[in-house]
């Protein structure tokens, strides 16, 4: 039976991983410092599992590791806009926090003398944007904003500690995650929230940036695929890609159509009825420094392990819109 730490267990990706590990019967020690983006209501669900233990703690403040097989690190500050305004918080969590985990592993002592593997969540943004083609795991890192720079720095720390101290690791670089339970600062839940408040949805660069969408459950399944390999996957980097890309404007247009189906109904019944144009729901004057055009990854390396995404964006989106339409505040 596996014993794993999941840092950021009450966050979006971390909660999907925690749930999936618990359902497999693994022992999970969840760590979360309960930031604004954490969902404390998840504890009601997770505490029903006898194989779950929770610590309310910043990863910088962890001083001791219990014996375990993996440390799955999803704890991070992740909102690009916030990193542009105040980068210090991102350095604290995304760089210093990872450094503390590495030092804990380096000084790890257990009866088995087997070091736990750090399975660290990075991001597709460490490569920088790309107008054509896809990034592979060996491409140079060219982050374009403070958030992605801190994630790239953490990746480099991990690789350096592995070489110097022989620490085992796996780095995962996913594309944009989506699903129910994401905090409302991210594009999909934020758009639904703004529609509910009757406010125009802010889209930087007029909604032209292109994103590749990956469901959080598919991300969690990728973690399981790696851990369950009969041989220990270690000292590897894997891209994770949902295989579905579109502009932010197209994504938001789909959300508006699902949120306001009456617009389409009226249009069908009364062709001359004055309709609200899609752009009346948008704020296209919004701008952000360091505009990124497109992120795209090649994940053939991960798929060779037997993983592939199962969730289809256009099939999942209606339920997500419905959820946030009724529950946009936890």
Residue appearing with tokens 């930031």: 35
Count helices and strands (H / E) in the chain. 12, 12
37 in a structural domain: yes
Which of 69, 77, 124, 292 is catalytic? The answer is: 124
**Tokens standing for residue 294:** 């497109």
259 in a structural domain: no
Which of 5, 127, 147, 259 is catalytic? The answer is: 147
Per-residue pLDDT tens listing for the chain (330 residues): 899 999 999 999 999 999 999 999 999 999 999 999 999 999 999 999 999 999 999 999 999 999 999 999 999 999 998 999 999 999 999 999 999 999 999 999 766 678 999 999 999 999 999 999 999 999 999 999 999 999 999 999 999 999 999 999 999 999 999 999 999 999 999 999 999 999 999 999 999 999 999 999 999 999 999 999 978 789 999 999 999 999 999 999 999 999 988 755 545 554 544 445 788 899 988 888 877 899 999 999 999 999 999 999 999 999 999 999 988 654
Planar angle of CA 57, 79, 101, nearest 5 degrees: 35
Which of 69, 125, 129, 218 is catalytic? The answer is: 125
121 in a structural domain: yes
Q: Is 23 among the residues known to form the active site?
A: no
pTM over 0.75: yes
**Given the DSSP bridges, would you call strands 201-202 and 176-178 parallel, antiparallel or unpaired?**
unpaired
Looking at the structure of the chain, the number of domains it has is 1
CB 229 within 8 A of CB 304: no
44 in a structural domain: yes
Q: Is 132 among the residues known to form the active site?
A: no
SS3 65: coil
Domain harbouring 115, CATH code = 3.40.50.720
* Domain interval for residue 62: 3-182+215-243+291-311
Q: Is 125 among the residues known to form the active site?
A: yes
């Amino acid at each position: 039976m596996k014993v794993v730490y999941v840092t950021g267990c009450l966050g979006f990706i971390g909660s999907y991983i925690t749930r999936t590990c618990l359902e497999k019967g693994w022992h999970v020690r969840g760590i979360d410092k309960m930031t604004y983006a954490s969902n404390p209501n998840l504890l009601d669900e997770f505490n029903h599992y006898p194989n779950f233990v929770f610590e309310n703690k910043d990863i910088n403040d962890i001083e001791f590791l219990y014996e375990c097989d993996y440390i799955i690190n999803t704890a991070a500050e992740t909102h690009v806009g916030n990193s542009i305004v105040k980068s210090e918080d991102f350095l604290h969590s995304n760089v210093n926090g990872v450094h503390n985990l590495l030092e804990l592993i380096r000084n790890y002592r257990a009866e088995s003398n087997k070091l736990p593997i750090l399975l660290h969540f990075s991001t597709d943004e460490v490569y920088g944007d790309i107008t054509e083609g896809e990034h592979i795991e060996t491409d140079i890192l060219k982050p374009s904003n403070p958030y992605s720079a801190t994630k790239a720095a953490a990746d480099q720390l991990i690789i350096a500690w592995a070489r110097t101290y022989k620490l085992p690791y796996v780095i995962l670089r996913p594309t944009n995650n989506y699903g129910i339970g994401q905090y409302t600062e991210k594009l999909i839940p934020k758009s639904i929230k703004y529609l509910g408040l009757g406010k125009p949805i802010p889209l930087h660069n007029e909604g032209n940036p292109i994103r590749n969408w990956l469901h959080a459950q598919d991300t969690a399944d990728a973690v399981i695929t790696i851990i369950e390999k009969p041989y220990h996957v270690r000292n590897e980097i894997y891209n994770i890609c949902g295989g579905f890309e579109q502009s932010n404007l197209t994504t938001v247009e789909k959300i508006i159509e699902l949120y306001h189906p009456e617009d389409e109904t009226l249009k069908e019944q009364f062709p001359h009825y004055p309709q609200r144009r899609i752009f009346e729901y948008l704020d296209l004057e919004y701008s952000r420094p360091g505009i990124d055009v497109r992120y795209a990854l090649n994940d053939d390396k991960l798929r060779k392990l037997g993983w592939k995404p199962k969730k289809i964006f256009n099939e999942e989106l209606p339920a997500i819109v419905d959820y946030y339409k009724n529950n946009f505040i936890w």
